[in-house]
């Protein structure tokens, strides 16, 4: 059982005590809670570092739409990694978290401000947000209603502030990151559900085909919420490919999940 620690101002916790460090980013409407089932399944193998992006959980709310761009979220991710990781790590993203991870890699490539991950884990994502329709074009009130409906459809037990989600969608929905994929030198594991209606399977294939050192793992019959729908299948796949190292990676001090 993980113990101790007050939540920090950026709302970061660690789950598990294994030697493989995984920094995992949630989706547009979720929180770090989306990763908790998998983190608990792999607690003996991994230590998951789970931040909440602004406007999620107890993390500080964004001041404006300018704080909700992929680049702004990537900078938040960079600060989290700088503060809480010291050594090799896996960078993981689910849904919009994949887009944030790609933005982080782009910033590292152009500015070298933060460390490169040893590996990527890209789940239910897309490099082409401009080609998905998570929310239809609509008035501000209708968008908030659509956000509430999608939150229920995805079964999010802990969800982001609706205004933050609206600002985020307006800021990111025209994004095309396909041109960045060829520059990624980090090996990647792309996991995608065959029945994903939010990021159809072709988007997972775009990621796997575009990243030079990517492996594509399709979960037949799974939808967008594979982290909770198929937790055991993902954990089994990762255990096969992430053998426990002999020595733990170094990490800095951070709060741990409380029961």
Domain-by-domain residue ranges, the chain? Answer: 12-239
Q: For residue 8, what pLDDT is reported?
A: 40
The SS3 of residue 242 is coil
Say yes or no to pLDDT of 256 above 60.
no
Min mean pLDDT across 44-53, 56-65, 217-226 is at: 56-65
CB atoms within 10 A of CB 78: 18
* Cα Rg of the chain, angstroms: 17
* Residue 58 zone, left/alpha/beta (φ > 0; ψ -120 to 50; rest): alpha
Say yes or no to pLDDT of 251 above 50.
no
Task: Give the span between the Cα atoms of 200 and 129, in whole angstroms.
Answer: 11
Query: Do 82 and 114 contact (CB within 8 A), yes or no?
Result: yes
Say yes or no to pLDDT of 3 above 70.
no
Q: For residue 247, what pLDDT is reported?
A: 38
- Tokens 């799974």 belong to residue: 222
What rounded mean pLDDT belongs to the chain? 87
Query: Do 40 and 16 contact (CB within 8 A), yes or no?
Result: yes
Mean pLDDT calculated for residue range 3-21: 68
Say yes or no to pLDDT of 144 above 90.
no
Mean pLDDT calculated for residue range 38-61: 92
Cα 117 to the center of its chain, rounded Å = 14
Q: Is 155 or 129 the better-scoring residue by pLDDT?
A: 129
Task: Give the span between the Cα atoms of 139 and 99, in whole angstroms.
Answer: 25
Q: Which CATH superfamily is domain 12-239 in?
A: Alpha/Beta hydrolase fold, catalytic domain (3.40.50.1820)
**Sheet bearing 188-193, strands edge to edge:** 12-15, 46-51, 20-25, 90-94, 119-123, 188-193, 214-219
Q: Is 192 or 112 the better-scoring residue by pLDDT?
A: 192
pLDDT digits (tens, 9 = 90+) for 114-130: 999 999 999 999 999 99
Say yes or no to pLDDT of 253 above 60.
no
């Amino acid at each position: 059982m993980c113990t101790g620690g007050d939540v920090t101002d950026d709302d970061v916790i660690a789950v598990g005590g294994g030697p493989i460090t995984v920094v995992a980013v949630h989706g547009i409407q979720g929180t770090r809670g989306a990763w908790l089932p998998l983190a608990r399944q792999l607690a003996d193998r991994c230590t998951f570092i789970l931040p909440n992006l602004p406007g999620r959980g107890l993390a500080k709310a964004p001041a404006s739409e300018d704080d909700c761009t992929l680049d702004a979220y990537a900078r938040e991710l960079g600060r989290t990694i700088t503060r809480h990781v010291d050594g090799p790590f896996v960078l993981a993203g689910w849904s919009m978290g994949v887009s944030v991870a790609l933005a982080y890699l782009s910033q590292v490539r152009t500015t070298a401000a933060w460390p490169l991950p040893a590996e990527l884990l890209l789940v239910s994502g897309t490099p082409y947000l401009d080609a998905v329709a998570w929310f239809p074009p609509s008035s501000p009130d209708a968008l908030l209603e659509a956000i509430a409906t999608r939150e229920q459809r995805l079964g999010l037990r802990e969800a982001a502030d609706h205004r933050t989600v609206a600002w985020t969608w307006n800021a990111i929905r025209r994004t095309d990151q396909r041109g960045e994929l060829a520059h990624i030198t980090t090996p990647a594991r792309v996991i995608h559900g065959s029945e994903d209606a939010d990021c159809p399977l072709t988007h997972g294939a775009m990621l796997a085909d575009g990243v030079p050192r990517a492996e594509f793992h399709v979960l037949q019959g799974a939808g967008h919420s594979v982290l909770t729908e198929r937790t055991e299948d993902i954990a089994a796949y990762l255990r096969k490919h992430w053998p426990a190292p002999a020595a733990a990676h170094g990490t800095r001090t951070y709060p741990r999940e409380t029961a």
